[in-house]
Structure 1
Amino acid sequence: MAHAAADDHRVVVYYQTTNVNNSATDHISILGLLNSAPQIAVTHVLIAAVHIVDEPDGWIRLNDFPPDNPRFDAVWSDAAQLQAAGVAVTAMVGGAAQGSFQRLDGDDAQFERYYGHLHDFLAGYNLQGVDLDVEERMSLAGVVRLIDRLRADFGPAFVISLAPVGAALRKGGGNLSGFSYFDLEAQRGSAIDFYNAQFYFGWGSPRPRPTTRTLSTPASRPASTENGSGFVSLDVVANTLRDLTAQYPDFGGVAAWEYFNSVPGGKAAPWEWATWMAENMRGEQSPRRKLRASRSA
């Protein structure tokens, strides 16, 4: 059986589309990610998108549904199998739908009210970390408080990542989060495992001359032309990855939005994206995969 890859170059997959056409029963499995050999290519799977809401019948929503909705039974089963194989499974909180971080950014009483539900969700579903995708205004003090509490409650092995737009990791660049990531890094960089920098929708490129922190950070790109502007052909990505990993041995890796239709395999074999990226970061891409990439570009 293939074994899990080391995370010196991370291969991060966002997994939001869990059911075909949002059906209640037609599950899109992520277990294909376990097929690669001799080692599993993916290092982290981020289940998205989790939101904190004001609804007394359930304060946490996963893609507009309570996480215990039967439509997610196979998601949690798949997640447990990935974890058993050594893949870290975490939850992405926030994203384009706003409100979660506003609720976590109030006074102490408000914070405790909403954080408690997030804590119980993360613990109840045995999630190994959280990806904070802050695409709304949040104070620096608020995000520091949240990170401190997560680290205190879940311990040093719990993965804490954030998902700033790429420009936010450059001085004077654009930002969707409200706080400065440079200030956050200065105050709590030691508590943050990595950033999944978003290099699409016009928010920058991982080249040229990435910052030191960007090098330790997976560079996030659309995994298909259907997933947003900024898609780059796999041939171009392959050359960029080879250049970056050769010049910077501590290059963090690559993240994809999102799993279900990732090229080169597309909807029929979306797990091939992870293998493709891992091979190119090791400089091992096969002729068969090169041919497929040319057809998919």
Structure 2
Amino acid sequence: MFRSLTAWLGLLSVAAALPAGLFPPDSALEKRGDGYNPPRSVVYVQTFRTTSGGQLSLLPLVQQNTKVTHIYLAAVHINDNPGDITLNDNNPNDTIWDTVWSESAQLQSQGVKVMMMLGGAAAGSYPRLCSGSNGAVNDDYYVPLANTLKYHKIDGLDLDIEEQVDVSCPLNLLRRLNQDFGTNFILTMAPVATDLQPSEYGLGGFKYSALDSQATASGKPNGKLVNWYNAQFYNGWGDSSSPVGYNAIISNGYAADRVVLGVLDSPNDGGSGWYSINTYKSTINTLKSNYANFGGDVGWEYWDAGSNDGYSDPWQWVKEIGTAIFGAATGQVNTVSTPIPYGPSPWPSLTSTLEGLGALHIEAVRALNITNGSLDGALKLLGLSDIFIISTA
């Protein structure tokens, strides 16, 4: 049952005092980023259980000196009734999250930034937040979100927009968040890789270049409201097995310190585009050689990270990535940006079918991603239903 904000304020979620020896000494944390600038080693956490079904603990991320810099708690949803906010399926102040909030406070005490991801594949959050007059931020939906972020001492918010909205929606939200939380509050976004490449083609219904040119603030790094972009290099949108797709983003005008390489850390967490830890480390090493200010890496998602690389615990995968990110650059310089590989589609045969009917590859990937692999839905979205009927008659 939904609890009002008044009820929230009557609940305690303060972490207990930390026992001596629980975490590594401060000297072991010296290589961690400063929170706002690279290098960054980032993970999304959406499934809060272990692969064997137990309670997932976040504490090994610092106990094992993985060098993780940021974690995203995912995903926050803005539901129909104003004030009805859920973290996945439960109110953020439900007792189910008590351990998560306690551990988050302990991670923060060790320098890790704990953030939230808003939106994702579930539709509705952004149209509701931007349903004010002439597309302005609607306080009925926004204020409860802001109160949630403040109450749980969240360090930043990731806007993952995978539904059609006007560019004014993220722009107004970014401006409002910066106004209300200040310049030290981290603001990120999670476009698919092609959104940042010259094609500028993705899921949000707006051009990120147009947003980035307007989303400025003198007090933020590089004068930009968006500290960095977590570019999704999987599910047909990009290929993280080589540096080429990332290079194309930098060639398109984005600074490397504002682009984080987004990868799948297990094939179970996406439809396609997972690679082994050694492949990711190779790509990271090359990108570090290409760009002294390489933005870092983010893995989706933590609970089963490295399960196909032979690791028994997800922190082991994060530690290997951290070693690559914070270690010396050992790759060969390769800044070639063409041709740009899209990466394998989650639905290769259906993608080929749509291409055979005249759709461009990336149009087919987009339509299938939006419709979750429905051929009928993709055909309707692309306006190809009649052509498909004729071709199969």
TM over 0.5, yes or no? yes
Does residue 156 of structure 2 align to residue 114 of structure 1?
A: no
Distance 2:324 2:175 in 1: 36
Deviation of 1:72 (Å): 0.7
Does the Cα contact within 8 Å between 1:89 and 1:129 map onto a contact in 2?
yes
Letter in 2 for 1:143: P
Deviation of 1:3 (Å): 2.0
Query: Residue 40 of structure 2 corresponds to which residue in structure 1?
Result: 10
Does residue 285 of structure 2 align to residue 242 of structure 1?
A: yes
Cα 1:36–1:240 change in 2 (3 A) is same
Identity of aligned residues (%): 36
Does the Cα contact within 8 Å between 2:158 and 2:189 map onto a contact in 1?
yes
User: SS where residue 211 of structure 1 aligns?
Assistant: helix
Once the two structures are superposed, what CA deviation does each residue of 1:210-264 show, in whole Å capped at 9, x if it has no partner? 3222622111111112111110111211111111101211110000000011016
Structure 2 counterpart of 1:223, from 240, 243, 265? 265
Does residue 121 of structure 2 align to residue 80 of structure 1?
A: no
Q: What does residue range 66-145 of structure 1 map to in structure 2 within 5 Å?
A: 66-108=91-133, 111-145=138-172
Distance 1:257 1:13 in 2: 6
Query: Residue 305 of structure 2 corresponds to which residue in structure 1?
Result: 262
Once the two structures are superposed, what CA deviation does each residue of 1:20-72 show, in whole Å capped at 9, x if it has no partner? 5898xx421111100234xx51110000000001246x511011111111111
Query: Residue 210 of structure 1 corresponds to which residue in structure 2?
Result: 248
Q: What does residue range 153-164 of structure 1 map to in structure 2 within 5 Å?
A: 153-164=180-191
Distance 1:136 1:45 in 2: 23
Please provide the CA RMSD for this pair. Answer: 2.2
Cα 1:110–1:22 change in 2 (3 A) is farther
Could you say which structure has the larger radius of gyration? 2
Distance 1:116 1:8 in 2: 31
Q: What does residue range 181-200 of structure 1 map to in structure 2 within 5 Å?
A: 181-189=208-216, 190-200=224-234
Higher RCO (C-alpha under 8 Å, 6+ residues apart): 1
Query: Residue 79 of structure 2 corresponds to which residue in structure 1?
Result: 53
Query: Residue 235 of structure 2 corresponds to which residue in structure 1?
Result: 201
Distance 2:214 2:170 in 1: 11
Distance 1:30 1:159 in 2: 21
Cα 1:46–1:166 change in 2 (3 A) is same
Letter in 2 for 1:27: Q
Cα 1:20–1:211 change in 2 (3 A) is closer
Moved more, 171-180 or 76-85: 171-180
Distance 2:186 2:39 in 1: 15
Does the Cα contact within 8 Å between 2:200 and 2:207 map onto a contact in 1?
no
Does the Cα contact within 8 Å between 2:137 and 2:172 map onto a contact in 1?
no
Query: Residue 274 of structure 1 corresponds to which residue in structure 2?
Result: 318
User: SS where residue 248 of structure 2 aligns?
Assistant: coil
Letter in 2 for 1:225: P
Deviation of 1:105 (Å): 1.9
Letter in 1 for 2:55: H
Deviation of 1:175 (Å): 1.0
Does the Cα contact within 8 Å between 2:239 and 2:273 map onto a contact in 1?
no
Distance 1:118 1:31 in 2: 26
User: SS where residue 143 of structure 2 aligns?
Assistant: helix
Deviation of 1:117 (Å): 1.2
Deviation of 1:90 (Å): 0.5
Distance 1:200 1:172 in 2: 16
Structure 1 counterpart of 2:207, from 180, 187, 203? 180
Cα 1:31–1:137 change in 2 (3 A) is same
Q: TM-score, normalising length from structure 1?
A: 0.88
Moved more, 14-23 or 68-77: 14-23
User: SS where residue 156 of structure 1 aligns?
Assistant: coil
Q: TM-score, normalising length from structure 2?
A: 0.67
Once the two structures are superposed, what CA deviation does each residue of 1:105-154 show, in whole Å capped at 9, x if it has no partner? 22247611111111011111110100000000111111111000000000
Cα 1:266–1:184 change in 2 (3 A) is farther
Does the Cα contact within 8 Å between 1:11 and 1:218 map onto a contact in 2?
no
User: SS where residue 131 of structure 1 aligns?
Assistant: strand
